[in-house]
């Protein structure tokens, strides 16, 4: 259910960014999620389709989600490895002195849009 | 042809809330009010622990409680019975509170009148960990029947907790596979700084230790602002 809360924040932020950039019609919004951020993207797409109907700015806007791979670091071996494959256990030494380097991000990467009014004026 | 612009945003989705939470902490400091955010899964014993805490501390601190739930006011009524001010916040179906919802609650309860306001967050180990409420400290309760593997399954919750209360310790004889050493190790792996207390809100075991922690946190906060 936290996907709904996140969609709400995405809409707030992109609405502000659109206003600052003189955009009144958003074509697409690209988000980036870490592999272990716990986001279920299928929920995100359904909430997006439902929630954005309330905002003319976002009518028909496409949601794109990119994944950032999860990478962990072993402090003892000074190596990085795939978090999803090995979890918290270092594949080299078998120890647990490991940290997540990347993979829990939830970012708004970019938005794509234009201004309908300006098109009509032109 | 319509001019399509691509705007690089490159912001964390939660950045607005994080900034707002920092602002709320400044507002609370100006009022000298300590806000504690209490989190757990549903049924871990937040309300019972709160009642014990209020009983211990209400003569020395002015305490207010904000109960956040998706619906109903059963918890608020239980807290009101303990003699402190309590209000109910409905999240309108949302699974967590964010900084702005918390600010509205603080305004409604009149937070400037209190030394300590406790926010009982929605019972959930996922979303409340992601959304900073603006609290001065985060406390979370893990109850014995939930199992000692929860720090592995919900790492973020344990990472952001300043204190972890292991509740329902009176049931350790029944849930004998709950390993008290292992659970500490798993919590410390995620968060070496977390203080850990074993309590039973039902029998009162360990409540003194937890209340001493809270008393000290509030006193230090008031001294340093």
Strand A106-114, strand B5-12: pairing: antiparallel
Q: What is the DSSP string of B70-132?
A: SS--HHHHHHHTTTSEEEEEE-TT-SS--HHHHHHHHHHHTGGG-SEEEEE--S-SSHHHHS-
Q: Are B220 and B162 in contact (CB under 8 A)?
A: no
Residue A121: pLDDT over 70: no
- pLDDT in the model for residue B92: 74
Inter-chain touch B10–A107, beta carbons under 8 Å: yes
A2-68+102-121: which CATH number, 1.10.357.140, 3.50.50.60, 3.20.20.70, 3.30.2320.50? Answer: 3.30.2320.50
* For B4, nearest residue in chain A (alpha carbons): A114
Q: Give the Cα separation of B223 and B225 in Å (integer).
A: 6
Q: Domain locations in chain A? A: 2-68+102-121
Inter-chain touch A118–B156, beta carbons under 8 Å: no
* Residue A27 main-chain phi, psi, to 5 deg: -90, -40
Inter-chain touch A112–B10, beta carbons under 8 Å: no
Q: Are B122 and B68 in contact (CB under 8 A)?
A: yes
Q: Does any CB of chain A come closer than 8 Å to the CB of residue B70?
A: no
- pLDDT in the model for residue A30: 97
**Is B45 exposed, middle or buried (CB count within 10 Å of its CB: 0-12, 13-18, 19+)?**
buried
User: Which tens digits make up the pLDDT trace of A41-84?
Assistant: 999 999 999 999 999 999 999 999 999 999 999 999 999 999 99
Closest Cβ opposite residue B9 in set A1, A108, A118: A108
User: Which tens digits make up the pLDDT trace of B4-30?
Assistant: 899 999 999 999 999 999 999 999 999
- pLDDT in the model for residue B1: 53
Counted residue by residue, chain A has a size of 122
Residue B54 lies in a domain: yes
Q: What CATH number does residue B196 fall under?
A: 3.40.50.300
Q: Which ipTM score applies to this complex?
A: 0.82
Domain count across chain B: 1
Domain boundaries, position B78: 15-224
């Amino acid at each position: 259910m936290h996907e709904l809360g996140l969609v709400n924040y995405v809409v707030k932020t992109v609405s502000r960014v659109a206003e600052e950039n003189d955009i009144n019609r958003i074509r697409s919004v690209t988000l980036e999620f870490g592999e272990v951020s716990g986001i279920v993207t299928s929920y995100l797409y359904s909430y997006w389709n439902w929630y954005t109907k309330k905002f003319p700015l976002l009518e028909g806007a496409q949601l794109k989600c990119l994944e950032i791979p999860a990478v962990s670091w072993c402090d003892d071996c000074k190596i990085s490895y795939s978090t999803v494959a090995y979890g918290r256990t270092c594949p080299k030494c078998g120890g647990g002195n490991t940290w997540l380097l990347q993979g829990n991000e939830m970012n708004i990467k970019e938005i794509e849009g234009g201004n309908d009014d300006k098109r009509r004026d032109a | 042809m319509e001019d399509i612009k691509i705007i690089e945003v490159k912001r964390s989705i939660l950045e607005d809330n994080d900034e707002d939470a920092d602002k709320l902490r400044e507002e609370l400091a100006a009022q000298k009010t300590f806000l504690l955010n209490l989190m757990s899964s549903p049924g871990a014993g937040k309300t019972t622990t709160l009642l014990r805490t209020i009983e211990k501390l209400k003569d020395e601190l002015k305490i207010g409680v904000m109960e956040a739930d998706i619906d109903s006011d059963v918890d608020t009524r239980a807290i009101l019975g303990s003699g402190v001010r309590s209000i109910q916040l409905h999240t309108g179906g949302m699974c967590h509170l964010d900084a702005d919802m918390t600010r509205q609650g603080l305004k409604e309860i009149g937070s400037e009148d209190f030394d300590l306001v406790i926010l009982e967050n929605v019972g959930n180990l996922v979303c409340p960990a992601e959304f900073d409420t603006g609290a001065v400290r985060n406390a979370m309760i893990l109850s014995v029947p939930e199992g000692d593997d929860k720090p592995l399954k919900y790492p973020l919750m344990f990472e952001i907790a300043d204190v972890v209360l292991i509740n329902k310790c009176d049931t350790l004889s029944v849930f004998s596979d709950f390993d008290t050493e292992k659970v500490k190790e798993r919590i410390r792996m995620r968060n070496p700084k977390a203080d850990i207390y074993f309590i039973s809100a039902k029998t009162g075991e360990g409540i003194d230790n937890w209340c001493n922690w809270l008393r000290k946190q509030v006193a230090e906060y008031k001294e340093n602002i």
